[in-house]
Amino acid sequence: QVQLQESGGGLVRAGDSLRLSCAASARTFFPYTMGWFRQAPGKEREFVAAITWNDGITYYADSVKGRVTISRDNAKNTVYLQMNSLNSEDTAVYYCAARRGPLSDYGYAYWGQGTQVIVSS
């Protein structure tokens, strides 16, 4: 149905910036909310940010607010996660996800395979 593919992860230094991309297979994504989640080793998966496809309304976790920007490119069916001032707490596998309906930090039915971000200090 909906296939998601993340890219852009890698090894970076503390203080660096990184932009993750999520390419979606759907021709039209307007009914969906797109989200980014992350899971650090030994920790629970946590919500990072979300954006609605139709109007671009965003929602951020308090832990990343101010350092992270989520955006989307309709022509490319792609969602981005721009991360600045990276620190060791940002080390995790980052997942792109999609859900039908309103902006939320839960209820996502479709998931990508994840892209690894490692921040060295």
Taking only the tens place, the pLDDT of each residue in 69-82 is: 999 998 899 999 99
Express each pLDDT in 46-105 by its tens digit.
999 999 998 999 999 998 989 999 999 988 999 999 999 999 999 999 999 999 988 999
**Helical ranges in the chain per DSSP H:** none
3-state secondary structure 33-92: EEEEEEECCCCCCEEEEEEECCCCCEEECCCCCCCEEEEEEHHHCEEEEEECCCCHHHCE
DSSP state for residue 2 in the 8-state scheme? -
Residue 13 corresponds to which tokens in the numbers above? 């230094």
